[in-house]
Structure 1
Amino acid sequence: MTPMTRARPEVVAFDVNETLLDLAPVRAALVEAGEPESLLSTVFARTLLTGFAAAAVGSWCRFRDAFDDALAQEADLSADRRAAVADSFGELAPHPDVEPALRRLTEAGVRVITLTHGSPGVAEAGLERGGVTPLVERSLSSEVIRVWKPSREVYVWAAGSCDVAPERMALVAAHGWDVQGAQRAGLTGAWFPRSERIFPTVYGQADVVAADLAGAVDALLALPPR
């Protein structure tokens, strides 16, 4: 259900890892290093834990460094092997449903950006690999301001970078914590499942919950104009 106070956004920001880009190359790199591909979910969760904890105490670390530490905790790999796995983030490509979703927004006159706390360049390389770069106005990494999502500062900074008020921007993500952060910063939040099966009930209600990426975009476009 969508609150009546929400209106059609002028800008839609998309999370990058998992939401737009398929992490299959990272799983493949783990297998090549002699680890099960299923290890990625544990390592990714520990990476987020590391970054979130740093943010909670007013500190900061790069996504790549948090990922390396998480991988060192979970697998007995040399530094070179871990670096090779981390490098595979540069090989990501969009999920098949990304291009039509982004095109639907741009054809409707809605601006599209990406917003990540991941390493700069990952989103750009993935979008280029998928041929969807022309559909994206800009790619933002909060490493620029040394803050991790879901800190409020990231979403407000993103809105300011696009010269719009937070309430005129939406965030689409396959991660409940990201949608919650965006909504608490004043953005419209839209969630759909990829690795998460349901929107976490502890976060309350998402502005938009959809069955897939196309549904999330359709729901945002269906919101009343301002």
Structure 2
Amino acid sequence: MSRTRPEVVAFDVNETLLDLAPVRAALVEAGEAESLLSTVFARTLLTGFAAAATGTWCRFRDAFDAALAQESELTDERRSAVADAFKELSPHPDVEPALRRLAGAGIRVVTLSHGSPGVAEAGLARGGVTPLVERTLTSEAIRAWKPSREVYLWAAGTCDVAPDRMALVAAHGWDVLGAQRAGLTGAWFPRSERAYPAVYERPHVAGGDLGAVVEALLALPPA
């Protein structure tokens, strides 16, 4: 099926839009190596994905705390302080021009995360880009995790568009795959991953950076 220019572009939040540097800094302050974040973040996703796959559910923050407890000997208080750092995130430098480009082209912009409520809002406000985003969505509202199909369909329904009229931009291949399997247009660029996983179906749109995938989405033919 050929893809057309979307009416709405949804963005993943953690790593795709917001820089996790404050969380790394919080780990260092707690006495851990900043490199631990990659392992903990991956285990957080594994915990959430497994819960969703088995028909249960947990909050992102609880999954993160459980992962941090598995990978470190930090006290409850120190783990809580590290998790609190998610509310200190800021957008990557390329985010503002990408969102402004979409807004200028008349494309609606939303965020779609399975992260804790308030994280996206705080980060967007810190970067001064809140006016460029129509709404922030977290799948905690429906007790689900991406890449479950229901999350993407819920997001499209919330925005009152058909799935094929919404695109999902993410720096995570699993997120793009989930969106595409739900009927959305998937757009991937390298930030947290060097390459798109070869075992997945190819992304509908890919580019060398965030700006490139935005331009590629805008270059799609109109519906």
Per the normalisation by structure 1, the TM-score is 0.98
Once residues 68 and 26 of structure 1 are traced to their aligned partners in structure 2, the CA distance between those partners, rounded to angstroms, is 13
Residue aligning to 2:121: 124
- Identify the residue that residue 164 of structure 1 maps to in structure 2: 161
Tell me, which stretches of 5 or more residues in structure 1 are unaligned? none
Q: Map 1:154-193 to 2 at 5 A.
A: 154-193=151-190
The answer for the alignment partner of 1:36 in structure 2 is 33
Of 140, 148, 153, the match for 2:150:
153
Q: Secondary structure at the match of 2:199?
A: helix
SS of corresponding position for 1:201: coil
Partner SS, residue 195 of structure 2: coil
Task: Trace 1:1-226 onto structure 2 (pairs within 5 A).
Answer: 5-226=2-223
Q: Distance in 2 between matches of 1:124 and 1:9?
A: 23
SS class of match (1:112): strand
- For 1:172, give the aligned amino acid: V
Partners of 1:199 and 1:217 lie apart in 2 by: 17
CA distance in 2, matches of 1:67, 1:87: 11
- Quick one: distance in 2 between partners of 1:156 and 1:70? 28
**Alpha-carbon separation, structure 1, partners of 2:198 and 2:221:** 26
- The runs of at least 4 aligned residues of structure 1 exceeding 4 Å deviation read none
Aligned-pair CA distance for 1:161: 0.3
Equivalents in 1 of 2:87, 2:121: separation in Å? 9
Q: Which residue identity is paired with 1:73?
A: Q
Cα deviation, residue 209, structure 1: 1.2
* 1:106-142: CA deviation from partner (whole Å, max 9, x where unpaired): 0000000000000000000000000000000000000
CA distance in 1, matches of 2:55, 2:69: 24
Q: State the one-letter code of the partner of 1:224.
A: P
Cα distance in structure 2, aligned partners of 1:157 and 1:210: 27
Q: Deviations over 1:189-224 (max 9, x none)?
A: 000011200000111211011100000100000000
CA RMSD of aligned residues (A): 0.5
Quote how far apart the aligned CAs of 1:47 are.
0.1
In the TM superposition, what is the alpha-carbon distance from 1:155 to its structure 2 partner?
0.2
- What is the one-letter code of the residue matched to 2:59? R
Q: How many residues align?
A: 223
Question: Which amino acid letter does the alignment assign opposite residue 170 of structure 2?
Answer: A
Find the aligned partners of 1:18 and 1:205 in 2 and give their Cα distance. Answer: 21
Secondary structure in structure 2 of the residue aligned to 1:203: coil
Q: CA deviation at 1:72?
A: 0.3
The 1-side partners of 2:153 and 2:216 are apart by 23
Give, in whole Å, the separation in 2 of the partners of 1:170 and 1:9: 6
